[in-house]
Every structure is written in structure tokens, then in C-alpha cells.
């Protein structure tokens, strides 16, 4: 059985792009009987940029609720808060001691901010080492990453390799799993959906507020009677990511046949989201209103993760001379 690890920052309620591009595929991978998945909420990474404790807590619950609402199986797999495994910071120190400065100075997470060093805290500079500890602590075989995160996985392998060369075989070297067909979900303005652009769709909004957001999707100015090109329309692009082949064919016919306005298309998109995600939306709000349920799931996951992590950490302690 392959052990798969996925981490995500606690940046608030996942939007539709996160759901279709990350959550649904990751849960599909976790449901494979050949895999054992560890999923952690990287709330320790989050404090490199977010200093509001209340927001960190709120965002962590929102992230966990979304994954649980979409069916992450916590009996077969493991869901936990990064901060519930403080031993990962001890492992970070050991890895720091075999990691050369130039490697960290070349990390994208640092170089992106290097033009204004007053904005760079030590945590941001050391970010890749904590990420490596997150990975290496659990003897994982596979780490699904986007192309933008490939460097961090390669750095984790380099750190593990350096430690193994100095102290002997200790760490499993994980392999990356890069999906070249990662789904790009357009936002309401046509650009890639992103919180930083403010163009995202939160499917967990109450119906009226969700519909109001969808009605803001940018379209061209063609009138009701005119035929429309579905392949250049943001509404249609979103619709076809979620609809059945039959629904897509019907919608395409509506566009090309004329006498079908963008308001009709947006209403159809709204109804599709409401129907498709009815169970997940209801489950999300049940969880958000009962943090005890979320805490129970995260605590259960933390206990499972600690068993694996402490075994690895004890190996490391023995190798560096701290074993008993």
C-alpha cells in the first residue's frame, strides 16, 4: 500500500476552484484501496503571513469542514491539524542542520519576497524545511503537488538524501505525483479563480447570496435573441466542469440556438450547483455549527499521525546521538 500525503494551508472556506481542482481529486485518490492518505491542515505554515489567531482558528475549521463534507474517509485515512503534531518542529531543526543556506535562498517562497527583505521573517525563509519535515515525518511514498510546488518536494528529497548520506539510511525518499491535467477553474471575471483576485465562488453561501455572486459572472453583450458561442463564455465554462454530458449538450444547444439569455444560463448554473452539492453544503454547515465534531475528527487523525511520526522521529534521534 502506498502512503500518500497532502497538505493545504488554512486560508478559509475553499472556493469552487479549490473543490474541483484539489479536494475532489484528492479524495478520489484517497479512496483508492491501494493508497493510505494522510491529509493535514497546514496552520503552522499559515502564521508566516497571518498574525490573527482568531482567523487562523476560523480558517482551520472551515478547511476541515469542507474536506469532511466532501467525504474524506477518516476511518481509512488520516486528517489532522499540523499544530497537533509539535514533534514536526523538532524534525525541522534536524533538517535545518543538513540544509545549506543557498538552497533556502533559492526557494521560490523566499525569492518572491526577497526584493523587500523587511517583509521576510525567519519562518518564511525556513518554510521549505518545515514543509520537508511535514513530508519526511510520515514515511510517505507519494506527494501530489502542482507544478508550482514541485521545487519544495525536490528540496525535501535533497534534505532527506543529505541526512541519509551523513547518518545512514533513515528517511524514505518520496516521489512527486504531478497531474499535468490539473483543472483550471475560471473565476467570475474569466481569470483563474483565486481569493487574491476576489473572483471566487463560495458554494457554501446561502442560496440568495450564491445566486447574487453568479449573476456577476462577466459575459459579452449579446442580446437575448442572438446565438452565443459557448466556448468563449465564462458561464458555460463553469457549467461544463460540473454538468453531465447530456446537460452540457442541452446547454450548448441553448447557446447556439438563440433566444436564450445569459441570465438564463446563470440561473441554470445556480440550479446545477445547488443540486450537485446539496449534500456537501448541508454537511458543511452542520460541521461549522458543531466544532466539537470537527475537533473529534482532527484529534482522531492526530493520534494516528503521531504513531507514525514518532517512529520516524525516534529513528532520527538515534542517528544524531539523542537516543536512549
Structural domain boundaries of the chain?
2-184+291-320, 207-276
Q: Are 282 and 70 in contact (CB under 8 A)?
A: no
Phi, psi (5° rounding) for residue 277? Answer: -110, 25
Phi, psi (5° rounding) for residue 186? Answer: -75, 145
2-184+291-320 CATH:
3.40.50.620
Residue 152 has pLDDT above 80, yes or no: yes
**Angle ∠(96,57,152) on CA atoms, nearest 5:** 30
Quick: pLDDT tens for 220-261. 999 999 999 999 999 999 999 999 999 999 999 999 999 999
10 Å Cβ neighbour count for 1?
A: 9
Q: State the pLDDT at residue 181.
A: 57
Quick: pLDDT tens for 126-136. 999 999 999 99
C-alpha of 64 from chain center? 11
Q: State the pLDDT at residue 49.
A: 85
Quick: pLDDT tens for 294-305. 999 999 999 999
**Residue range 195-214: mean pLDDT, rounded:** 96
**Residue range 20-44: mean pLDDT, rounded:** 91
- Residue 278 CA to residue 134 CA, distance in Å, equals 34
Q: Are 260 and 235 in contact (CB under 8 A)?
A: no
Of 12 and 86, the one with more pLDDT: 86
Residue 123 has pLDDT above 80, yes or no: yes
- Residue 167 CA to residue 321 CA, distance in Å, equals 10
3 state SS of 204: coil
10 Å Cβ neighbour count for 100?
A: 11
Quick: pLDDT tens for 206-225. 999 999 999 999 999 999 99
10 Å Cβ neighbour count for 135?
A: 25
User: Residue 123 has which C-alpha cell?
Assistant: 519562518
User: Residue 277 has which C-alpha cell?
Assistant: 452539492
- Average predicted confidence (pLDDT) for the chain: 93
Q: At what angle do helices 245-257 and 262-276 cross, to 10 degrees?
A: 170
| pTM of the complete model | 0.90
Q: State the pLDDT at residue 294.
A: 97
Q: Is the dihedral of CA 256, 259, 263, 269 positive or negative?
A: negative
- Residue 168 CA to residue 320 CA, distance in Å, equals 10
Torsion of CA 107, 112, 117, 119, to 10 degrees: -110
3 state SS of 133: helix
Quick: pLDDT tens for 67-100. 999 999 999 999 999 999 999 999 999 999 999 9
H helical segments located in 146-261: 150-167, 207-214, 234-242, 245-257
207-276 CATH:
1.10.240.10
Q: Which range is least confidently modeled, 8-17, 264-273, 274-283?
A: 8-17
Q: Which range is least confidently modeled, 60-69, 299-308, 315-324?
A: 315-324
Percent of the chain at pLDDT exceeding 90: 80
Amino acid at each position: 500500500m502506498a502512503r500518500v500525503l497532502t497538505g493545504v494551508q488554512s486560508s478559509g472556506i475553499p472556493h469552487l476552484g479549490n473543490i474541483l481542482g484539489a479536494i475532489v481529486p484528492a479524495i478520489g485518490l484517497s479512496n483508492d484501496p491501494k493508497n493510505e492518505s494522510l491529509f493535514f491542515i497546514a496552520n503552522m505554515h499559515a502564521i508566516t503571513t497571518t498574525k490573527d489567531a482568531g482567523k487562523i482558528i476560523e480558517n482551520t475549521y472551515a478547511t476541515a469542514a469542507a474536506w469532511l463534507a466532501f467525504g474524506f474517509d477518516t476511518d481509512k485515512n488520516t486528517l489532522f491539524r499540523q499544530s497537533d503534531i509539535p514533534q514536526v518542529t523538532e524534525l525541522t531543526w534536524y533538517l535545518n542542520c543538513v540544509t545549506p543556506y543557498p538552497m533556502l535562498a533559492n526557494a521560490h517562497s523566499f525569492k518572491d519576497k526577497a526584493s523587500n527583505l523587511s517583509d521576510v521573517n525567519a519562518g518564511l525563509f525556513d518554510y521549505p524545511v518545515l514543509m520537508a519535515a511535514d513530508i519526511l515525518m510520515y514515511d510517505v511514498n507519494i506527494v501530489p503537488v502542482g507544478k508550482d510546488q514541485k521545487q519544495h518536494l525536490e528540496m525535501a528529497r535533497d534534505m532527506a538524501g543529505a541526512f541519509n548520506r551523513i547518518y545512514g539510511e533513515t528517511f524514505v525518499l518520496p516521489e512527486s505525483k504531478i497531474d499535468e491535467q490539473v483543472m483550471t477553474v475560471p473565476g467570475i471575471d474569466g481569470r483563474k479563480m483565486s481569493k487574491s483576485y476576489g473572483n471566487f465562488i463560495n458554494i457554501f453561501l446561502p442560496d440568495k447570496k450564491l445566486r447574487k455572486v453568479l449573476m456577476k459572472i462577466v459575459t459579452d453583450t449579446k442580446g437575448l435573441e442572438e446565438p452565443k458561442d459557448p466556448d468563449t463564455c465564462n458561464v458555460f465554462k463553469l457549467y461544463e466542469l460540473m454538468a453531465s454530458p447530456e446537460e452540457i449538450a442541452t446547454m450548448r444547444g441553448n447557446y447556439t440556438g438563440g433566444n436564450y439569455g445569459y441570465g438564463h444560463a446563470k440561473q441554470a448554473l445556480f440550479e446545477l450547483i445547488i443540486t450537485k452539492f446539496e449534500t456537501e453544503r448541508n454537511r458543511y454547515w452542520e460541521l461549522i455549527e458543531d466544532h466539537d465534531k470537527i475537533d473529534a475528527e482532527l484529534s482522531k487523525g492526530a493520534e494516528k499521525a503521531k504513531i507514525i511520526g514518532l517512529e520516524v522521529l525516534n529513528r532520527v534521534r538515534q542517528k544524531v546521538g539523542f537516543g536512549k
